Amino acid sequence: MRIGELAARAEVNIQTLRFYEREGLLLQPVRTASGYRSYAERDLERVRFIRLCQGLGFTLREIDKLLVLHKSVTEYKGTPKKKPAALQEIVIMANERLELIDQKVRALSLMRAELTSLVTALGEEPPVSCPVSR
């Protein structure tokens, strides 16, 4: 498929795909005789994986590492009882991301409580003093 079709199916713009290529997140595609980029289904899956990871808050550097780990897990030939080390690394990265999200949730909860208090104070009749300068 050409870059326009890949962009449409992955729901990103063409510049995003070119950026992923420059950053090494998306492998350089095969070129047709006329010079057009030619992508495969695996490229679509890779872009969707990148977008999923971005939506979960991972940085591009982390996503690059996750792509390597993901490939290692999917190509794992060991026994089913023994989990590959790459899978354990993915779990560690996911837990670190969860901790960051929890920190942000706590910070947002504090901001919400403070803003709620401010709105309540502003709604008093008549306001005793400026609640912002307290």
Domain residue ranges of the chain, discontinuous segments joined by +: 1-55, 57-134
Q: Any residues with CB less than 8 A from the CB of 66 and at least 6 apart, and which?
A: 49, 53, 58, 90, 93
Q: Is the pLDDT of residue 131 over 80?
A: no
**Total-model pTM:** 0.79
Q: What pLDDT score was predicted for residue 33?
A: 93
Give the DSSP letter string of 19-55: HHHHHTSSPPPEE-TTS-EE--HHHHHHHHHHHHHHH
pLDDT digit string, tens, across residues 52-77: 999 999 999 999 999 999 999 888 88
Query: What is d(CA 66, CA 87) in angstroms, rounded to the nearest whole number?
Result: 10
End-to-end CA separation in angstroms for the chain = 61
Handedness of CA 22, 92, 46, 76 (dihedral sign): positive
Q: Is the pLDDT of residue 86 over 80?
A: yes
CATH 1.10.1660.10 fits 1-55, yes or no: yes
Q: What pLDDT score was predicted for residue 74?
A: 86
For 52, other C-beta atoms within 10 Å of its C-beta total 12
Mean pLDDT, the chain, integer: 92
Give the DSSP letter string of 49-68: HHHHHHHTT--HHHHHHHHH
pLDDT digit string, tens, across residues 15-63: 999 999 999 999 999 999 999 999 999 999 999 999 999 999 999 999 9
Q: Is the pLDDT of residue 130 over 70?
A: no
